[in-house]
Chain A
């Protein structure tokens, strides 16, 4: 069974640009959540999607957005990039998003903003 796949693995952008990151969950998983990991702030929750609907959102500005498609694949978009957006972005999937379920993480997308 294939794991959670995130593309691309690495990305370099300049300030003001926008970026789209992709996450393909494990087959059969309908919940996808996104986390930002930085040395200073640690791991912070961005948002969670289930069946194409955003159920939860973290405390991030509106420049951060996401969506989920009918096949459960998810994308997140960051517009007007800032230096502080440089981070590892992790995606995780589970069947329904319940707390009792095991979360499966991808290897992340390392975003560098210059």
Chain B
């Protein structure tokens, strides 16, 4: 079974600085997708960034980028120029397709990110 591990329950960073959230996963598959989701106090899960395992190039979305190390099964999220609005729970997640449709999202336990003004 696939598992996703986030080893940092909490992180904090000064506004405008850079922070990196860690994620490791375990799978025997070669084709899959990895995601970072953000959950603010509103509780709605928001997709931050997505990485396709067969793509070697790391995904980037504005101030958010990932460091995807497939062999090491590592998928970290870097937030540059941190803003107060980035404060939230961040979840790393894994997903792959099955014949009958996509498998469930497997989530890590989450990292609570605090931005200090």
Contacts and interface: CB of A to CB of B under 8 A. Distances in A.
Interface of A: 31, 33, 35, 42-43, 45, 48, 50, 55-56, 58, 88, 90, 92, 96-103, 105-108, 110
Contacts of B97: 98-100
Nearest to B91: A43
B16 interface: no
Interface of B: 32-33, 42-47, 50, 52, 91, 95-98, 100-110
B109 A42 contact: yes
Most A CB within 10 A of own CB, among B44, B45, B110: B45
B44 A108 contact: yes
A50 B103 CA distance: 12
Given A99-B33, A100-B33, A55 B101 contact: yes
Nearest to A31: B101
